[in-house]
């Protein structure tokens, strides 16, 4: 059995690699590029193993008809899944091609050389290109999962400089996103939304409808799902506006106004013990009594509000109904599960739907992309024959994307007289982080597509079940990586929370690491031990120690005393306890208006063997800046009339005015397995900022965001 | 509908449009220039910026009628401009884009700044880019790329 799920599903070499007549090599990956440069990394891997110039590698945009089904592009798994699969496929191909050349030249494969895809016999000077060797025929062999891949020392490309694919088109404005697609005869479409998800349509004003229809605007209505479509985009924008103003809504029950942080700990919930990162189907035992010999005990609650992906470009999708075959162009992170969920919703055979991945603006998890795709499909089905480009508005994206769940994490610990942790408990409370449309029991796919809540044949939202995976959802990084005596860990999947939630970059790890790593500082302080030293005292793993040391050195860690108003903080985590090791150190000040100004940051990471070095740095920097934004600015606000965070003024994010100098230190481990890194910096960044604020001001902030209101409120306490 | 004459990327275009249509929609849908992006439509994010008579200008709300006869340059038209081309190359060299959605707007803002002031300070660069949002966290590289082009830059 192959350990790589991607190879299990797509075992044939032809699933992954095709030789083109013009000398290019087409590589098919089921993982999608969402700005994380997976296509750059995968192309490097293929070029390395096939011994060709990376320019020869053509990365095929995945679609559900031809790409290997690699499920979702999530969880920082792409290098370990797609990268590994393509590496083994390319190595299999090289060995196979050398075999063909040896037979043709009547020599031993080991004597042959390869230069940029040309196989040469040095003895006779005979040569043949790859495609000459196969004659353009398919490989028709399986990928050998044990094919010998290049030893780290032999790599010429991996780990070296690589220009990100597509960047020249990005800076020149020629890169085409789903939002920019044009198809012949295309209509534009917009959705008319209810005030919130509990509201249902009362009615549309018939005069407005008649006037719009007279102006060639098509109105698609299915229950409370309403869309407008037409030839001219701006006319559609205005029509949607007019229709929205004329619509009446039955708002039914008002939105829950109770403080979500009270709800998180008071509402009904499913509680499960977590051991070694795995939830158990078992009753939760009582938290252990304070340890004997405890010199001091501490407890604290850390909280994260609802936060959003907040893509810079609102979601969009193109769809066309060709005589009952549905074509959908989407920036979804999971084109196969999306296809199957749309098929199930529309009662179509999946073979009658093709979903083509097309790049979109950065999404950072499950944002509006899938919902927009389904909505475009609904409009295309209602108006068959012509393509429909449906775009969400800024208001749609802010108010209707599935958010990162609010969370509350209770931590408690006892220290002995020497300052060692002798008891650790952590309980995490959250809604689900798993809301992606994906077929599963109980019609989970359709139930997770937004428009299905509003169609005449409405499907209510799914009641989530606990994620039982290793470091899945809300218990991601709940288990400390430190050498503590067996910690008491509990995950609480909370019911009845007001907003729709799903996967956002780092999932539960943000709140869990925020709690764990800030609480480590609280304990160190209580025990009067340097915060870095305190971590070292509980950390034997050399790779973990090395990243902490590197980040601390880069920031110029001060053991004691604060000569000025600069606060320093650091934090560490190993993502999912088995991926990238990351330590973040920051230096900041709090200005006289209680605003946090980030001065410097150091991120040290160990991701095993580095593939695309600059891409890795970019992911770490980007992860840092996004998490700094969560830490300092972000909170989804709502009242009984619905979500009130509907644009960039009501939901501000980090801007160019607060970007620190960032030093990224990569600890190279060429002989170690490559580890996913896209989410490694998030949790440690939030905690390091919290710790630095405490260092600068003496104020311990336990609820994100650390904005001026929070800092002033803490100062008053 | 009205005929409006627009000067875009060095060419003259006669366009039939309702003059109240925001310039962005005309650039994208009538002229096929999709470098300027629809990010918010609220003049809050900078994704839709183009050069108008050399100044970085948001186009998602301002009506096309206001731009008749003015010199418009989009990201697609920057390569023939010495400063614009230098900015684009600096972004490429710095790897200053992730998803790239915010990038054309940033390239426009940087070009406008460096055309007006060849040696902007770090603070000038921050100020010029501040109307722009990026969610991927490309900020540090963008700042470095632009600062590196300042003739006042150390090196
Ligand atoms: S789209 Fe114009 S500023 Fe956002
Ligand atoms: S690079 Fe993605 S929004 Fe800036």
Residue A210 included in any domain: yes
In this structure, the answer to whether residues A221 and A127 fall within a common structural domain is no
Per-residue pLDDT tens over the stretch A371-417 = 999 999 999 999 999 999 999 999 999 999 999 999 999 999 999 99
Mean pLDDT of all residues in A607-617: 90
Indicate the pairing of strand A421-430 with strand A407-415. Answer: antiparallel
Taking the C-alpha atoms of A190, A195, A197 and A203 in order, what is their torsion angle to the nearest 10 degrees? -80
Q: Is B108 in the pocket of ligand 1 (CB under 6 A)?
A: no
In this structure, the answer to whether residues A334 and A395 fall within a common structural domain is yes
In this structure, the answer to whether residues A610 and A514 fall within a common structural domain is yes
Contacts of A362 in chain B (CB under 8 A): 98-99, 101, 135-136
Residue A25 included in any domain: yes
In this structure, the answer to whether residues A580 and A704 fall within a common structural domain is yes
Structural contact between residues A578 and A680, judged by C-beta atoms closer than 8 angstroms: no
Q: Which domain holds residue A614?
A: 509-716
Residue A75 included in any domain: yes
CATH of residue B17's domain is 3.10.20.30
Tokens 């994208």 belong to B28
Per the model's pLDDT, the better-predicted residue between A41 and B7 turns out to be B7
Q: Which domain holds residue B18?
A: 2-76
From the list B28, B6, B23, the residue with the least C-alpha distance to B15 is B6
Chain B: give the shortest CA distance to residue A12, in Å. 31
In this structure, the answer to whether residues B91 and B138 fall within a common structural domain is yes
> Of the bound ligands, which one is closest to the alpha carbon of residue B141?
2
In this structure, the answer to whether residues B54 and B102 fall within a common structural domain is no
Question: How many helices, marked H, and strands, marked E, lie in chain A?
Answer: 19, 27
Chain B: give the shortest CA distance to residue A396, in Å. 10
The total number of structural domains in chain B stands at 2
Residue A500 included in any domain: no
In this structure, the answer to whether residues B43 and B106 fall within a common structural domain is no
Indicate the pairing of strand A325-330 with strand A278-279. Answer: unpaired
In this structure, the answer to whether residues B86 and B71 fall within a common structural domain is no
Structural domain ending residue among the three candidates B50, B76, B102: B76
Would you give per-residue pLDDT tens digits along chain B (155 residues)? 889 999 999 999 999 999 999 999 999 999 999 999 999 999 999 999 999 999 999 999 999 999 999 999 999 999 999 999 999 999 999 999 999 999 999 999 999 999 999 999 999 999 999 999 999 999 999 999 999 999 976 54
Mean pLDDT of all residues in A484-499: 96
Write down the pTM of the prediction.
0.93
Q: Is B46 in the pocket of ligand 1 (CB under 6 A)?
A: yes
Is a pLDDT exceeding 60 seen at residue A621?
A: yes
Count of residues in chain A: 717
Structural domain ending residue among the three candidates B76, B108, B140: B76
In this structure, the answer to whether residues B56 and B98 fall within a common structural domain is no
In this structure, the answer to whether residues B87 and B148 fall within a common structural domain is yes
Nearest CA in chain B to A364: B136
From the list A408, A113, A154, the residue with the least C-alpha distance to A260 is A408
Band (A76; pLDDT cuts 50, 70, 90)? low
CA gap A10, A437 in Å, rounded:
22
In this structure, the answer to whether residues A570 and A654 fall within a common structural domain is yes
Indicate the pairing of strand A581-590 with strand A567-574. Answer: antiparallel
Taking the C-alpha atoms of A571, A575, A578 and A580 in order, what is their torsion angle to the nearest 10 degrees? -80
CA gap B27, B33 in Å, rounded:
5
Per-residue pLDDT tens over the stretch B66-81 = 999 999 999 999 999 9
In this structure, the answer to whether residues A548 and A625 fall within a common structural domain is yes
Structural domain ending residue among the three candidates A124, A158, A192: A158
Ligand 2, atom 4, lies closest to the CA of B134
Peptide bond into B48 cis (omega under 30): no
Select from B8, B139, B143, B149 the residue whose CB has the most chain A CBs within 10 Å, as the one to mutate to test that interface.
Answer: B139
The rounded mean pLDDT for chain A is: 93
CA gap A19, A434 in Å, rounded:
38
In this structure, the answer to whether residues A141 and A43 fall within a common structural domain is yes
CATH of residue A34's domain is 3.30.365.10
Structural domain ending residue among the three candidates A380, A400, A420: A400
Residue A656 included in any domain: yes
CA gap A517, A686 in Å, rounded:
9
In this structure, the answer to whether residues A125 and A208 fall within a common structural domain is no
In this structure, the answer to whether residues B109 and B61 fall within a common structural domain is no
Report pLDDT for A34: 65
Select from A312, A363, A618 the residue whose CB has the most chain B CBs within 10 Å, as the one to mutate to test that interface.
Answer: A312
Per-residue pLDDT tens over the stretch A141-188 = 999 988 888 888 888 888 877 778 889 999 999 999 999 999 999 999
> Could you tell me the strand order of the sheet in which A17-19 lies?
A17-19, A25-28, A57-60
Show the 3-state SS of A671-710: CCCCCCCCCCCHHHHHHHHHHHHHHHHCCCCCECCCCHHH
The total number of structural domains in chain A stands at 3
Q: Is A571 exposed, middle or buried (0-12, 13-18, 19+ CB in 10 A)?
A: buried
In this structure, the answer to whether residues A594 and A694 fall within a common structural domain is yes
Residue A331 included in any domain: yes
> Of the bound ligands, which one is closest to the alpha carbon of residue B27?
1
In this structure, the answer to whether residues B15 and B50 fall within a common structural domain is yes
Inform me whether the C-beta atom of residue B22 falls under 8 Å from chain A C-beta atoms: yes
In this structure, the answer to whether residues B63 and B82 fall within a common structural domain is no
Structural domain ending residue among the three candidates B48, B76, B104: B76
In this structure, the answer to whether residues B91 and B145 fall within a common structural domain is yes
Report pLDDT for B153: 67
Report pLDDT for A97: 93
In this structure, the answer to whether residues A196 and A154 fall within a common structural domain is no
Structural contact between residues B109 and B87, judged by C-beta atoms closer than 8 angstroms: no
Q: Does A170 contact B103 at a Cβ distance shorter than 8 Å?
A: yes
Which ranges constitute the DSSP H helices of B26-97? 82-94
Residue A166 included in any domain: no
Report pLDDT for A238: 97
CA gap A351, A343 in Å, rounded:
9
In this structure, the answer to whether residues A117 and A198 fall within a common structural domain is no
> How far apart, in Å, do the first and last CA atoms of chain A sit?
59
Q: Look up residue A79 and give its DSSP letter.
A: I
From the list A603, A563, A566, A593, the residue with the least C-alpha distance to A683 is A603
Q: Does B100 contact A170 at a Cβ distance shorter than 8 Å?
A: yes
Q: A528's torsion region: left (phi>0), alpha (psi -120 to 50) or beta?
A: left
Q: Does B39 contact A618 at a Cβ distance shorter than 8 Å?
A: no
Exposure pattern of A461-500 as b/e (b: 16+ CB <10 Å)?
ebebebbeebbbbbbbbbbbbbeeeebbbbbbbbeebbbb
Chain A: give the shortest CA distance to residue B72, in Å. 15
In this structure, the answer to whether residues B25 and B40 fall within a common structural domain is yes
From the list B60, B82, B80, the residue with the least C-alpha distance to B11 is B80
Quote the tokens at residue A271.
Answer: 């509680």
Distance (Å) from CA A595 to ligand 1 centroid: 26
Structural contact between residues B34 and B28, judged by C-beta atoms closer than 8 angstroms: yes
The total of other beta-carbon atoms located within 10 Å of residue A300's CB is: 16
In this structure, the answer to whether residues B68 and B109 fall within a common structural domain is no
ipTM: 0.97
Q: List residues bridging with A130 in a β-sheet.
A: none
Report pLDDT for A36: 67
Tokens 């907003």 belong to A499
Count of residues in chain B: 155
Mean pLDDT of all residues in A512-518: 98
In this structure, the answer to whether residues A144 and A233 fall within a common structural domain is no
């Amino acid at each position: 059995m192959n350990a790589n799920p991607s190879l299990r599903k797509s075992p044939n070499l032809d699933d992954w690699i095709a030789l083109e007549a013009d000398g290019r090599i087409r590589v098919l990956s089921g993982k999608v590029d969402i700005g994380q440069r997976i296509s750059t990394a995968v192309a490097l891997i293929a070029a390395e193993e096939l011994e060709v110039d990376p320019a020869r590698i053509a990365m095929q945009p995945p679609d559900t008809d031809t790409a290997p089904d690699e499920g979702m592009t999530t969880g920082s798994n792409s290098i370990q899944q797609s990268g590994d699969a393509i590496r083994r496929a390319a190595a299999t191909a090289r060995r196979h091609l050398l075999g063909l050349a040896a037979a043709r030249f009547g020599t031993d494969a080991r004597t042959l050389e390869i230069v940029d895809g040309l196989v040469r016999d040095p003895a006779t000077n005979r040569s043949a290109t790859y495609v000459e060797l196969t004659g353009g025929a398919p490989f028709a062999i399986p990928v050998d999962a044990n094919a010998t891949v290049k030893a780290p020392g032999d790599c010429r490309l991996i780990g070296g400089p690589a220009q990100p694919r597509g960047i020249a088109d990005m800076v020149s404005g020629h890169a085409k996103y789903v939002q920019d697609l044009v198809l012949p005869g295309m209509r534009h479409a917009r959705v008319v939304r209810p005030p919130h998800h509990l509201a249902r349509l009362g009615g549309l004003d018939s005069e407005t409808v008649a006037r719009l229809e007279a102006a060639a605007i098509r109105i698609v209505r299915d229950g409370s799902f309403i869309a407008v479509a037409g030839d001219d985009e701006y006319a559609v924008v205005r029509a949607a506006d007019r229709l929205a103003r004329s619509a009446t809504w039955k708002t039914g029950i008002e939105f829950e106004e109770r403080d979500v942080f009270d709800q998180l700990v008071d509402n009904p919930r499913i509680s499960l013990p977590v051991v070694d990162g795995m939830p158990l189907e078992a009753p939760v035992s009582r938290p252990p009594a304070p340890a004997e010999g405890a010199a001091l005990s501490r407890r604290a609650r850390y909280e994260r509000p609802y936060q959003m992906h907040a893509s810079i470009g609102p979601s969009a999708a193109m769809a066309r109904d060709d005589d009952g075959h549905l074509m959908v162009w989407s920036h979804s992170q999971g084109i196969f599960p999306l296809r199957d969920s749309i098929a199930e919703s529309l009662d179509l055979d999946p073979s009658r739907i093709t979903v083509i991945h097309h790049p979109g603006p950065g999404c950072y998890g499950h944002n509006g992309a899938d919902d927009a795709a389904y909505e475009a499909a609904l409009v295309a089905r209602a108006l068959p024959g012509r393509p429909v480009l449906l775009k969400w508005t800024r208001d749609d994206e802010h108010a209707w994307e599935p958010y990162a769940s609010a969370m509350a994490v209770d931590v408690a610990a006892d220290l002995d007289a020497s300052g060692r942790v002798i008891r650790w408990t952590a309980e995490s409370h959250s809604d689900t982080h798993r809301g992606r449309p994906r077929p599963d029991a109980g019609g989970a796919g359709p139930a997770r597509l937004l428009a299905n809540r509003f169609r005449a044949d409405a499907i209510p939202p799914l009641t989530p079940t606990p994620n039982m995976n290793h470091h899945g959802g809300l218990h991601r990084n709940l288990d400390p990586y430190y050498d503590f005596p067996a910690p008491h860990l509990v995950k609480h999947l909370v019911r009845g929370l007001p907003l729709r939630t799903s996967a956002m970059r780092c999932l539960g790890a943000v709140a869990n690491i925020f709690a764990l790593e800030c609480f480590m500082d609280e304990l160190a302080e209580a025990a009067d031990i340097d915060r870095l030293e305190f971590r070292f005292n509980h950390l034997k793993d050399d790779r973990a120690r090395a990243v902490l040391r590197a980040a601390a050195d880069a920031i110029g860690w001060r053991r004691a005393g604060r000569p000025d108003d600069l606060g320093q903080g650091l934090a560490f985590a190993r993502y999912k306890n088995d991926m990238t090791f990351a330590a973040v150190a920051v230096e900041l000040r709090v200005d006289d208006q209680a605003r946090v100004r980030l001065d410097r940051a150091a991120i040290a990471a160990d991701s095993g063997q580095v593939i695309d070095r600059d891409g890795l740095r970019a992911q770490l920097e980007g992860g840092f800046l996004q998490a700094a934004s969560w830490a300092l600015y972000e909170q989804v606000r709502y009242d009984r009339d619905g979500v009130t965070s509907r644009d960039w003024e009501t939901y501000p994010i980090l801007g160019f005015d607060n970007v620190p100098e960032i030093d990224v230190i990569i600890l190279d481990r060429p002989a170690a397995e490559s580890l996913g890194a896209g989410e490694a910096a998030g949790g440690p960044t939030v905690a390091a900022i919290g710790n630095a604020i405490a260092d600068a001001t003496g104020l311990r902030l336990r609820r994100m965001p650390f904005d001026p209101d929070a800092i002033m409120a803490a100062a008053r306490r | 509908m009205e005929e409006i004459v627009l000067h875009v990327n060095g060419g003259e275009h006669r366009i039939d449009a309702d003059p109240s249509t925001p310039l962005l929609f005309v650039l994208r849908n009538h002229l096929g220039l999709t470098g300027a992006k629809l990010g918010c439509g609220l003049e809050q994010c900078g994704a839709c910026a183009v050069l108008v008579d050399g100044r970085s200008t948001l186009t998602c709300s301002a009506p096309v009628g206001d731009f008749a006869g003015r010199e418009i340059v989009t990201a697609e038209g920057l390569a023939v401009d010495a400063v614009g081309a230098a900015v684009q190359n600096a972004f490429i060299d710095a790897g200053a884009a992730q998803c790239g959605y915010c990038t054309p707007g940033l390239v426009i803002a940087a070009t406008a700044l460096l055309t007006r002031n060849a040696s902007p300070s770090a603070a000038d660069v921050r100020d010029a880019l501040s109307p722009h949002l990026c969610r991927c966290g490309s900020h540090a590289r963008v700042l470095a790329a632009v600062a590196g082009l300042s003739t006042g830059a150390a090196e």
